[in-house]
Amino acid sequence: MLSHKGRWRGQVEVTGAIIAVGVLLLVITTLFYSIIQLQQATSDVFAKRASFESERSLERVSVIYDPEGGLCIVRNAGGVDVEVARVWVSDSGFVEEPEAAGLPATIRRGESISFAVDAIPVAIVTKRGNVFEVRSECLRQAAMARSVVEVIYGGVGGFISSQNIIGAGRLTSDQACIVYEVYRGDSKKEDKTVPVLVYRNEAGWIYHKCDPNDPSTYGWKLVTRPPQSSIELDPDLDESGVNEAIVARNISSTLIEIGDPNQGPTSVSVNLTFYNVIRISSSADVVIVFYKFVIKANVGGQPHQVSYNPRVALIALGSGSRYEAPGSVAVSSSGEYVAVISGYVVFPRLFYNLQNDYYSVEIALEINTEKINTGSSATRIVSVRLEYIAITGAEILWKPLP
Amino acid sequence: MIEVACGREVMKRASLRGQSDLIGVVVLLGAVLVIGVAFAGMTLTSVSTLVSVNRVKTALSEDQSSIFVYVERENTTHTCLGILRIVPDYRVYAIGLFTSDLSQDLSGAITPPKPDTLVPRTIESSRVYRLYQGEYYPIPVKGSINVYFLTDQAIRDYILQRKPLLVCVDRSGLPSDGYLVVFSFINNELYEVRGWYVKP
């Protein structure tokens, strides 16, 4: 009977063992499967990410400016086809259908698309997350082409001279805003009586007085008080054929220049800040700011010494960073009392670590005079004028009026 | 007669012992089954939990590797970020904006350029987790937070099309550095998978 009972118990133990082994097998299999699945999924995703990064780095879009046809040519110069996800047609507007911006949905390897300079989109965003700033690059090349021609063959000039920017409507556009400060005398106290910047164009004398926080003050307005006929300023002091922007005062309903021949300041600092005038992108290696001032001083027929210290600063509007450098000076004279100060400042982007941002450009000119002979009369500064500012290597944001 | 009687007695006793043995075996078998089933149940529950946790980890690991954030456009007031999932898959995502230490909700500065892509929603902060050194911790915001969920249409038009979704941040409304977070929505909870700092 004992053997009979033991057989039953043996069967029970075997049954229990089978259940236990089954459960253990299930647990081990599930865990193993789960771990394998996790590893598989992780390695799959990493492999796809590596492939994505590789393809992303192969995407290249080159932009070439054709000066003969005045065209911007966008070309897929990369190793993969570029799938266009979005096209920025302006700084704040985009389209998600590439055809609406004149682009195919896929730009094949080696394929080129031509645009007129004013019709090229601002940026092309690809499905791999690359952003190609095509307009700024094309405008940069176009600007470089023009400035080279003007600087070499024109002698004066530059990308935008005051004549050009006003003639083309750049400064009279809604975006134009120049903030200016004048400090007179050795104390360098700010002269609050200098309220206007004036210029003469085809319409007559126009003035500019801007507050960056008030867009209604942007641009230039026609001078109505005093009457146009009563303004006796010389629009082109150095007789170069290019009118100058004049730092003037509106006193007793009359426009007069910064100083008087007999009582004008002996030293002056003028700061001109061109607010939100350029955008620097990574496509530019060097930003160069050219300038030309025309100064008139009354030296009273005596030997005189005048020093000119220009400096230029780029002020990033996003970060507030300021990048400043002293400018070069080339002085020439077009008359007994008139000095022409021209020069430039070079900002290598990588040296200054200029970030992609919107920038204001500040140009400051400090003028100091000294008497050579104690018996001679003091030199008085009469006029401070800006003939042109030229900027290359950056996109000019002040669009001309149509 | 005596032998016959003895034989019957022995048979009767043997029968009784057989019955008690059978009952004992049935009881033992029942006990083994109960214990076995309970053990199996407990084990399967733990394995299921483990597998479920692993699935969440797998999904989050996939999201961390698949979601790609980049700056698409920037001007003086706005920064627009592109959010791209490199492997198309139907997943639900949400976007939030916080201070850089994630202690304050700044989602009011998020401006969706296309109104039908994001929908605002409030969620308890206890169900929102930040990623720190590979581990998830509850975010230090008390109460509830506001986030923008991708709409079903946005998931279909962007995530499943492997196309970057555009999200803009109005930097002029930021009191300090902002941190835009892309959350993955799993089991009614939000888990950070990507982030991007935005300076005011």
DSSP class of residue B149 equals E
Work out whether strand B144-150 and strand B118-124 pair parallel, antiparallel, or are unpaired: antiparallel
pLDDT score, position B35: 83
**Which range scores top for mean pLDDT: A293-302, A322-331, B5-14?**
A322-331
pLDDT score, position A174: 66
Task: Identify from A13, A19, A95 which residue to disrupt to test chain B contact, counting B C-beta atoms within 10 A and taking the largest count.
Answer: A19
ipTM value > 0.85: no
pLDDT score, position A158: 35
Do B62 and A42 lie within an 8 Å CB cutoff? yes
pLDDT tens by residue, A163-217: 444 444 566 666 778 888 888 775 555 555 656 788 887 778 888 888 888 888 8
Comparing alpha-carbon positions, the chain A residue that sits nearest to B20 is A5
Q: Give B-chain residues touching A318 at CB under 8 angstroms.
A: 74, 76, 199
Q: Give A-chain residues touching B43 at CB under 8 angstroms.
A: 23, 26-27
Q: Of A96, A243, A238, which is closest to residue A164 (Cα–Cα)?
A: A243
Q: Which domains does chain B have, with CATH numbers?
A: 69-198 (2.60.40)
What mean pLDDT do residues A92-110 have? Answer: 91
Residue B110's pLDDT band, with cuts at 50, 70 and 90, is very high
pLDDT tens by residue, B42-73: 877 877 777 677 778 888 888 888 899 999 98
Q: Of A123, A148, A18, A147, which is closest to residue A63 (Cα–Cα)?
A: A123
Do B43 and A23 lie within an 8 Å CB cutoff? yes
Do B74 and A318 lie within an 8 Å CB cutoff? yes
**Exposure letters B172-189 (e unless 16+ CB within 10 A, then b):** eebeeebbbbbbbbbeeb
pLDDT score, position A216: 82
Dist CA B3 CA A202 (whole Å)? 149
Taking the Cβ of residue A85 and every Cβ of chain B, the question of whether any pair is shorter than 8 Å is answered with yes
Residue A314 near residue A333, CB atoms below 8 Å: no
Ordered by start, the domain boundaries in chain A are 1-57, 61-132, 143-396
Residue B55 near residue A41, CB atoms below 8 Å: no
CB neighbourhood size of A135 (10 A): 26
Q: Percentage helix, strand, coil, to 5, in chain B?
A: 40, 35, 20
pLDDT at A150 over 70: no
pLDDT score, position A154: 26
Do A45 and B87 lie within an 8 Å CB cutoff? yes
Backbone Cα Rg of chain A: 34
Task: Flag the least confident range among A89-98, A262-271, B150-159.
Answer: A262-271
Distance from CA of B98 to the nearest CA of A (A): 20
Taking the Cβ of residue A323 and every Cβ of chain B, the question of whether any pair is shorter than 8 Å is answered with no
What mean pLDDT do residues A83-103 have? Answer: 91
- Name the more confident of A193 and A50: A50
**Which range scores top for mean pLDDT: A33-37, A39-43, A98-102?**
A98-102
Residues 358-397 of A with CB under 8 A from B: 358
Task: Flag the least confident range among A16-25, A126-135, A147-156, A355-364.
Answer: A147-156
Do B47 and A5 lie within an 8 Å CB cutoff? no
First to last CA, chain B: 114
What mean pLDDT do residues B140-163 have? Answer: 92
pLDDT score, position A62: 86
Distance from CA of A240 to the nearest CA of B (A): 38
Kindly provide the residue ranges of all beta strands, DSSP E only, lying in A173-329, ordered along the sequence. 178-184, 189-190, 196-201, 204-208, 221-222, 245-251, 254-257, 267-280, 286-298, 304-316, 322-326
What mean pLDDT do residues B162-191 have? Answer: 92
Q: Taking all residues of chain B, what is their mean pLDDT, rounded to a whole number?
A: 87
Dist CA A312 CA A344 (whole Å)? 9
Dist CA A42 CA A189 (whole Å)? 67
Q: Which of A1, A125, A358 is the closest to B72 by Cβ? A: A125
